[in-house]
Amino acid sequence: MEGILWALILGFGFGWALQKGGLTQYATISNVFRFKDLTVLKFMMTGLCVGMVGVYGLNWLGVLEMTKVNETYLAGNLIGGIIFGVGMAVAGF
């Protein structure tokens, strides 16, 4: 039950950020690939910076153990990313 509650709360915040940032619009996703509107990049990079500082800061304080780092698999990550990019550009989400 605790897990479900956190999933809903975090999901709500996540959804809110996506909507307010305009990431739910086809135009926003489409335009980043045409360099007309870099909202997606700004949003992602800001999220990354805040997340990095937060995660590494807490890790340094000993509060958070980083046990869930994504596995790096060169061929899979690159090829998967390439395939993903096609789908994202076509569908706009």
Report in angstroms how near the CB of residue 32 gets to another protein at its nearest: 8
Residue 71, Ramachandran bin (φ over 0: left; ψ between -120 and 50: alpha; else beta): beta
Residue 1 interacting with another protein (CB under 8 A): no
* Residues 9-68, interacting with another protein (CB under 8 A): 9-27, 30-36, 39-40, 42-55, 58, 63-64, 66-68
Report in angstroms how near the CB of residue 35 gets to another protein at its nearest: 8
Report in angstroms how near the CB of residue 19 gets to another protein at its nearest: 4
Total residues contacting another protein by CB under 8 A comes to 77
Burial string for 38-53 (b: 16+ CB within 10 Å, else e) reads ebbeebeeeeeeeeee
